[in-house]
Amino acid sequence: MIKTDVIKPLGKLLEQRAVQYGSKVAYWDSYKEASYFELNRQSGNISKKLRSQGFLSADKVAIYLPNSVNWVLSCFGVVRSGLVAVPISHDAAPGEVSYRITDSGAKAIITTKDRLALLGGLKDEIGTSLQIIIVDEDRALGCENFSEYCADSPQLVEEEIQTSIDEVAFIVYTSGTTGKAKGVQLTLRSMLWVVAACWIPIAEINDKDVVLSPLPLFHSYALNFSVLSIIAAGASEFIVEKYSSSQVLTLLKTGNFTVLPGVPTMFHYILESAKADSAVKLNGMRLCISAGAILPADLNRGFEEFFAIKLLDGYGITETSTMVTMNSPVWGRTLGSCGLPVVGVAVRIVDPTTGADLGPGQEGELIVRGPNVMVGYHNKPTETAAALKNGWYHTGDLAKADANGYLTITGRLKELIIRGGQNIAPGEIEEAVLRHPAILDCAAVGIEHKHLGEIPVVFIVLRDGKSIGAEELIDFTKGHLSSYKVPAQIHVVKEIPRTGSGKVMRFKLKEAI
């Protein structure tokens, strides 16, 4: 049954949880913890301080922090103030940081002192009016101090802004097939709907749970599950700063955790490590959750048989505030399938050309409608119109359903490469490779990888008289791409196969490997 009472303004939800749970720890990391009382108090103070700085409703504030309690406090403070949170990976390449700041129109950024040099190097692109708030205790010239935002300020008596939960609260960037990241506009209602219809009733997240979260908080999956569902359920969570297999395994051995969200790659590693090391156990764990990429049926089955713990799989994307479908331990599962639609969400499988509905067993494009669907892409009306048609979001993913409605994702109309649950647009890699003066033409594709799902590979055409080694080109791209987007292989070809209209025939390149 959907838990509709958690769908409300964030300030009200936090105030209620502070009364209910008081000194109970809500989130902690390796350096800091926040009880429900402190979470409400400090995020409320951040909200008031932001409003006192002259920011107006719907102004954008970038969160450029590593996974941490401060990340959560920042996010809650921004949203409570009626502003829009724009998460940015703390490991993003300079060009990616610049693009997200300028595209969103962020007026302020919350970050760490060690990122000031990078921001300073981008001042010609992002401007000098960006207000910088740093979380480090050391002060920095020209920057605001985060601890002062968290502290009580008796002089700030302005009442908290209780904005509509149907206003845009988050802009989460995701890669598109054009290669330029798209800012997905999500509301508090759309995000909390997934919490209320999926995480609480299906995964049964509750106030007795202690979650271990290694997910990157700037992703929609983590923002929805590892941030919002925790306070909605009254649970506690340890936030891993950056995923490390050894650290996660060490933490799991303590037996202190009941729920582990992750991506298929992570669960594969845990299973293989446990087979090789009898000390690796999941004592106390009641549930693991996989999303972000397709979970192979063999991995799902092998994990559950070895640990005797449920590993629930689902399908979701940023544009639908994460989950669209989920396997349930209550109404039954089909391993290899991503389950049934969550309550309130409608899905159809249609012919990509005609739009006609297809029957059981027939492969077509998956389209989605429901309260979890995005408002649209920020500053991209053409892309929004192409994706949202008559209220239905066209996912670009190929799927089929069995006679009982269980969905299986079979492929993609889009050309995204999904490496370890992270989306990579081929165009982003191609743009970086073409910056090298030796490259005339190139194309990126994803090829199958046993553990990561897919890895990016680049085919290049060299300019006459030019040459470059594979390792040299790979090193070159590291200056322009996040680490997970850096190509794993380079192949030199005479030409890139294209259609008459100039589109890359990527399937032919894959066949050549």
Residue-wise DSSP of 470-494: HHHHHHHHTTTS-GGGS-SEEEE-S
Beta-bridge partner residues of 377: 184
Amino acid identity at 84 = V
Beta strands 25-28 and 236-239, pairing class: parallel
**Please, what are the domains in the chain?**
4-192 (3.40.50.980), 417-511 (3.30.300.30)
Cα–Cα dist 300/298, whole Å: 5
Check if the beta carbon of residue 203 is closer than 8 Å to that of residue 259: yes
Do 142 and 391 touch, CB atoms closer than 8 A? Answer: no
Q: How many helices (H) and strands (E) does the chain have?
A: 17, 27
Residue 89 CB partners (closer than 8 Å, separation 6+):
96, 216, 218, 482
Reduced to 3 states (helix: H, G, I; strand: E, B; else coil), residue 20 is helix
Work out the number of other CB atoms within 10 angstroms of the CB of residue 19.
Answer: 11
> Nearest CA to 13 among 39, 34, 35?
39
Helix (H) or strand (E) holding 58: none
Q: Residue 122, Cβ neighbours under 10 Å: how many? A: 18
Is residue 327 a contact partner of residue 312, using CB atoms and an 8 Å limit? yes
Q: For the beta carbon of residue 428, count every other beta carbon within 10 angstroms.
A: 26
Residue located via tokens 């007026």: 107
Would you give the distance in Å from CA 395 to the centre of its chain?
Answer: 16
Instruction: Quote helix, strand, coil % in the chain, to nearest 5.
Output: 35, 25, 40
Other CB atoms within a 10 A radius of the CB of residue 375 amount to 18
Three-state secondary structure along 254-317?
A: CCCCCEEEECHHHHHHHHHHHHHCCCCCCCCCCEEEECCCCCCHHHHHHHHHHHCCEEEEEEEE
d(CA 328, CA 402): 16
CA–CA–CA angle 35, 36, 40 (5° rounding) = 115
Three-state secondary-structure class, residue 443: strand
The whole-angstrom distance between residue 86's C-alpha and the CA centroid of its chain comes to 12
Give pLDDT, residue 177.
41
Tokens of 281: 């156990």
Other Cβ atoms less than 10 A from the Cβ of 52: the count is 15
Per run of 10 residues, the mean pLDDT along the chain (length 513 residues) is: 92 97 98 97 95 91 98 97 96 92 96 94 87 88 90 70 86 69 96 98 97 96 97 98 89 94 90 83 92 88 94 95 92 87 96 91 95 97 95 93 92 81 85 92 91 94 93 94 94 84 76 83
Among candidate residues 192, 160, 210, the one with its CA nearest the CA of residue 33: 210
Residue 259 corresponds to which tokens in the numbers above? 């729920």
Closest to 230 (Cα-Cα) out of 263, 267, 203: 203
CA angle 148, 154, 158 (to 5 degrees): 95
pLDDT at 160 (0 to 100): 55
Q: Which amino acid is at 105?
A: G
Residue 472: CB atoms within 10 Å: 12
pLDDT, residue 176, reads: 46
Phi, psi dihedrals of residue 55, rounded to the nearest 5°:
-70, 145
To the question of pTM greater than 0.75 for the whole model, the response is: yes
What one-character-per-residue DSSP string does 307-357 give? H--EEEEEEEEGGGTEEEEE-BTTTB--TTS-BEEPTT-EEEEE-TTT--B
371/375 Cα distance (integer angstroms): 10
Phi-psi region of 434 (alpha: psi -120 to 50; beta: other; left: phi over 0): alpha
3-state secondary structure 117-128: HHHHHCHHHHCC
pLDDT at 178: 45
Nearest to 361, CA basis, from 407, 412, 326, 327: 407
With beta carbons less than 8 A apart as the criterion, state whether 219 and 316 touch.
no
Confidence at residue 501, expressed as pLDDT on a 0 to 100 scale: 47
> Residue 92: in which H helix or E strand, if any?
none
Whole-angstrom distance, CA of residue 108 vs CA of residue 49: 13
Written as six digits, the tokens of 270 are 């845990």
